[in-house]
Chains A and B, each alone.
Chain A
Amino acid sequence: MKEKEQYSLDEAIGKFYKTEPLKIDLAKTVANSVFGEEKKVSVFFDKMLYFIVCLIAVGAVIYCISLFSKLSISSVMLFLIIVVSFFGLSVKEHSVLSKKVLNFL
């Protein structure tokens, strides 16, 4: 017959003693009392928001195309460079923040 596994007293205390957990979600309860109740955003609201943002984006693209057709090529190029730079910097900032959040977790 196999001998049962044994643990030193120190190891057993560290590994196996379980403190009775709280019945409440402490983090949520305290955060609610400090910051107020968390607003629940519905899935419907989320979808509507995406839909509206997409509509605005499509509208903006159509407006830009009609506008660019009236402007000189250099003005259009200048505008595009500004837009690309803006998005490039945004993406860079986002990646730095993501790294920080990952480290944080």
Chain B
Amino acid sequence: MHRGFDEKYIIKEVLSGNREAFVLLIKQYEGLVLHIVTPLIGVNEDREDICQDIFIKVFEKLNSFQFNSKLGTWIGNIAYNTSINFLRKKRNILLSSLVMPENELSFFETTSADFNSPEQIFIKQEDISQLNLMIDKLTEIQKATLLLFYQDELSLEEISKILEMPVNTVKSHLFRAKKSLKQLMTQNIKL
């Protein structure tokens, strides 16, 4: 994200009807929104409609933004809820399949383990494409968590606000995503 991106100024400009400011706002947060919507919805036409819907909602609700969180966190949460509502309405899927069962989530609530264990592995340049395929095999929520943490460099607290789950649950998803990746990579390549 741009270091000089002044949230208050851009919001003021968008609210005063500055089209260019709104275009900049969308470009600033498009990547973040894609990292939430793509794992949940997949790569299809619905994804494009949902992304448009998200930023229209952002525009409509912008005057109610209270600066209680970062603008990115607020937009991310709108992206998450819009995607979940879409899945609920259109696909009628069982949403509980998106999150882990309660008994599995208790891991970080009872231990002081760090989500960075499983021990670090190293990947050769030639195996990067394999890694990308393995990331695509993760569960929707694990993939979203992983992208928000490693690509958008959001904190655990910010991710927990976006995905509306406790910080420990976010840690669990990260831990399990990395564990799965390590297993998949070990099976598929020579480390």
Contacts and interface: CB of A to CB of B under 8 A. Distances in A.
Interface in A14-36: 14, 16-24, 26-31, 33-35
A22 B150 contact: no
B147 A19 contact: yes
Interface string B165-183: 0000000000000100110
B124 A6 contact: yes
A24 B48 contact: yes
Q: Chain B binding site: helix, strand, loop or mixed by DSSP?
A: helix
A5 B52 contact: no
A7 to B, nearest CB: 5
Interface string B133-159: 001000000000011001101000000
B9 interface: yes
Interface residues of B, number: 48
Range, interface on chain A: 20 to 34
A55 interface: no
A105 interface: yes
A100 interface: yes
Contacts of B122: 6-9
Given A9-B120, A27-B24, A104-B4, 9 more contacts: A7-B122, A9-B131, A19-B31, A26-B51, A29-B52, A30-B26, A30-B59, A34-B56, A105-B24
